[in-house]
Amino acid sequence: MTTIGTVAANFTRDLEQNYQTIADYVAQARARGVEFLVFPEAAIGGYLSSLGNHGDTVKNTKRSLPPAIRLDGPEIARVQEIVGDMVIAIGFCELAEDGVTRYNAAAVLDGDQIYGNYRKVHQPLGENMSYSSGSEYGVFDTPVGRVGLQICYDKAFPEAARIMALNGAEIIASLSAWPAARTATAENLQDDRWTYRFNLFDTARALDNQVFWVAANQSGTFGSLRYVGNAKIVDPGGNILDTTLLESGLAVADVDIAGTFRAMRGGMFHLRDRRPDVYGELVEVDPTGTAGWRDLAHA
């Protein structure tokens, strides 16, 4: 059995406060036997304070951008000191080797080793004004199994999770700073349409690919964003094993990775039963950037 945990919590520009929050959740997780713990997107330094062509962007720096962190820098090293022998996934703003380019990034690591890192590929609502986009999905061997990383909006694209599943991912960690809808927000955020989408994507991607899906998310508020929490662990059948719902907190589940895969994939195995020979259009370049572009072109 492997014990997995995931966090819903609020992270800001205050790095010392972030480190303390990380330490608090690591201590809680350790007390419950967690071996792999997932923190949200932008857990080191906070996310943007707004989305769109206003506020917290490179073009308008009246509000502070997240601190840009090198993968080999002191901030990651500080986190490694905190986590010790626990394997974690955590989000941050990565400063590239050129000292200028910034990525919305995540890494999977423990106190001794960085097993891999990921730069967010899909960018929503003007996020590209603050970050450059990544271009690949990696799957990394860790002491808890083969782990894939993705960030927030990536979960809306089935291809992202599928690539990692085909590359042997057993666990996909999905790190988010997912807010409630910006208009017509539900009075109860658990009923908000963006909360619904967040939760639906999590269960669908787990079931699509028959993998363990571990979703972390920010909670509370930051700038103009109001986060929906709902950190959760989903099994390969799309069943939610534990969730924080809206609150800050820790969700934990004991999972039998090998045994579950044998049971779930012994009959209908989605990866085996694919038909790549009829999926050609999926890899053609879309000249319009619009879903259904072939239909539109011939309308």
Alpha-carbon Rg for the chain in angstroms? 19
d(CA 92, CA 75): 10
Q: How confident is the model at residue 224, as a pLDDT? A: 87
pLDDT at 299: 43
Q: What pLDDT is stored for residue 53 in this prediction?
A: 56
Asked if residue 80 lies in contact with residue 110, where contact means CB atoms within 8 angstroms, the answer is: yes
pLDDT at 295: 52
CA–CA separation, 254 and 270 (whole Å): 24
Give all strands (DSSP E) within 165-208, no chain letters: 171-176
Is the CB of residue 199 less than 8 Å from the CB of residue 230?
yes
Task: Give the per-residue pLDDT at 191.
Answer: 95
Report the alpha-carbon angle 7-175-217, nearest 5.
45
Residue 158, H or E segment: helix 158-166
CB 189 within 8 A of CB 195: yes
The reported pLDDT for the residue numbered 51 is 79
Task: Give the pLDDT of residue 58.
Answer: 53
Q: Which residues of the chain have pLDDT under 50?
A: 54-56, 59-61, 296-299
Q: What pLDDT, on a 0 to 100 scale, did the predictor assign at position 65? A: 87
Amino acid of residue 245: L
Residues near 148 by beta carbon (within 8 Å), at least 6 away in sequence: 137, 138, 139, 140, 161, 164, 165, 167, 169, 171, 172, 173
Q: Residue 237: its pLDDT value, please?
A: 96
In the chain, the percentage of residues whose pLDDT exceeds 90 is 80
